[in-house]
Amino acid sequence: MKKRIPMVLSVALIAGMLSACSTGQSGQNESGSASGEGVTTIEFWAAPNPTQQAYWQEMAKAYEAQNGKVKINVSAIKESPTSEASIQAALAAKSAPTMSENINRGFAAQLSSSKALVPLDTLEGYDDLLKGRSMSKTIEPWKFADGHQYVLPIYSNPMLFGWRLDILKELGYNEPPKTYGEVLELTKKLKDKYGDKKYLWAKPDLADPTAWKRWFDFYMLYDAASNGNKFIEGDTFTGDEKAGIEVLTFVDSLRKEKGLLARQVTDPFENGTGVFTDIGPWTFTTWAEKYPNLKYNETYALTMPPVPDGADPAQSKTFADTKGLVIYASATKAQQQAALDFVKWVYSDAKNDAAWFKQTNLPPARDDLSTNESFKAILDESPQLKPYAENVPNAVPPMDNTKYNDLQTIIGTEAFNKVVKGEIAPAEGWAAMKAALEKALK
């Protein structure tokens, strides 16, 4: 789901606000066992979502039934004021849990820089976990600049673009375009037929500099154009200039063709004002209730992002709207290992991931999501989820930098938003953005 991730509050402030956030590791001896009982107790903070909390409570109960020496207490992360702030507060108050989910890669960078997280790849059984869950390809782009893995992705939403297939058919198209040139050709036909009544991309976020909004426009296009280049790795700008300028030039060309509408319109894609927009799998529940006329492969289609002319559309990459699980360094060694063993057990059986998928609609972070028989019934029942399942390995997670909010804001203010508004040429926008990012990274 689209998440507004605020700047992390100062440790001193949030510690004062939430010093009693959790019992955390209190009451444990040095081995991580409840005093005198010989039982290792794990505090697990689930995402503040009833469905996810219920899932982890079910998994904990099933695991405890097979492992009498482990007790897993599952509770929801507090959202006062945000889940990120609650975790920071608990760390400052020395009341952090053993493990938690709901962690994106950027926030994990903030936590790992202060040594708050255990490098998961240093724990016994980690490689077996990846093999058992079939996720070696999916997790590869999660590797941090220091070579370690601090977050285990739980779900990965490869963000796709939706197309109003019914409107495209009116223009003579049986399927969506796949390259920039084809998209521009379609835009010209759209404007010739409908004028100011319809636009290719109608979305106010295009002109909004808010950091997280770049995940769902710039990054989707950039990941496709650059073959998944990470843009920023650790404290280093690694952006692909050719791909970046191609993306900005494409957006500028859409603007020149009057194909962009960056002002507020009620549900522009759903109502047909725009024919192209980012779509996450959480959208379909709302559509079923509010827009039952939208039917997969009838009135709308789903594709990976378009690519520059000359590139192979079959190799397109995209942004991963994704979060994962971490283990905290403040936990005892016994708790850390018990937490990893629990997670390995959960993911050793694809049926557990199938239960997650069915309950949450969030695609498990697996390489085999579209081919494993355990997920066939779910995908057959909801075929609109199939392209998400197929592209989990092709999705790139957020950057691993502590200042990710500031850095993503710069992308908008120096380049993307200005190009959308026609205030700067694409190459100049890229150069200004690059300079500002490199300055901020020092």
pLDDT category, 382, cuts 50, 70, 90? very high
pLDDT category, 361, cuts 50, 70, 90? confident
Q: Which CATH architecture has domain 11-158+321-396?
A: 3-Layer(aba) Sandwich (3.40)
Which helix (H) or strand (E) element contains residue 76?
strand 70-76
pLDDT category, 342, cuts 50, 70, 90? very high
Whether 11-158+321-396 and 160-279+403-441 share one fold: the answer is yes
Asked if pLDDT for residue 273 goes beyond 50, the answer is yes
Asked if pLDDT for residue 157 goes beyond 60, the answer is yes
Q: Strand, helix or coil at 62?
A: helix
Rounded distance, CA 156 to CA 320, Å?
A: 6
Q: Shortest CA distance to 248 belongs to which of 260, 237, 236, 238? A: 260
Say what the pLDDT of residue 80 is.
80
Answer whether 174's CB lies under 8 Å from 405's CB.
Answer: no
Q: Shortest CA distance to 308 belongs to which of 195, 375, 240, 226? A: 226
Say what the pLDDT of residue 31 is.
40
pLDDT tens digits, one per residue of 182-205? 999 999 999 999 999 999 999 999
Rounded distance, CA 409 to CA 183, Å?
A: 27
Asked if pLDDT for residue 20 goes beyond 60, the answer is no
Rounded distance, CA 339 to CA 56, Å?
A: 13
pLDDT category, 79, cuts 50, 70, 90? confident
Q: Which CATH architecture has domain 160-279+403-441?
A: 3-Layer(aba) Sandwich (3.40)
Answer whether 85's CB lies under 8 Å from 322's CB.
Answer: no
pTM of the model: 0.86
Range name among 2-6, 166-170, 340-344 with the lowest pLDDT average: 2-6
Who has greater pLDDT, 27 or 392?
392
Per-chain mean pLDDT for the chain: 92
Answer whether 395's CB lies under 8 Å from 317's CB.
Answer: yes
The percent of residues in the chain predicted with pLDDT above 90, rounded, is 89
> Which residues 6+ apart lie within 8 Å of 366 measured at CB?
133, 134, 135, 138, 350, 353, 372, 392
Say what the pLDDT of residue 81 is.
87
Query: What mean pLDDT do residues 254-276 have?
Result: 97
Range name among 32-36, 271-275, 399-403 with the lowest pLDDT average: 32-36
φ and ψ of 202, to 5 deg = -110, 105
Calculate ∠ Cα 143-379-297, nearest 5°: 105
Say what the pLDDT of residue 3 is.
42
Q: What token pair was written down for 186? A: 């379609």
Say what the pLDDT of residue 328 is.
98
Domain residue spans of the chain: 11-158+321-396, 160-279+403-441
Say what the pLDDT of residue 345 is.
98
Say what the pLDDT of residue 37 is.
67
Say what the pLDDT of residue 22 is.
39
Asked if pLDDT for residue 431 goes beyond 80, the answer is yes
Helices (H), 93-217: 105-113, 126-133, 136-139, 165-170, 180-194
Asked if pLDDT for residue 177 goes beyond 80, the answer is yes
- Dihedral, CA atoms, 330, 333, 334, 339, nearest 10 degrees? 60
pLDDT category, 146, cuts 50, 70, 90? very high
Q: Shortest CA distance to 99 belongs to which of 336, 364, 341? A: 336
Say what the pLDDT of residue 413 is.
98
Say what the pLDDT of residue 288 is.
94
pLDDT tens digits, one per residue of 110-123? 999 999 999 999 99
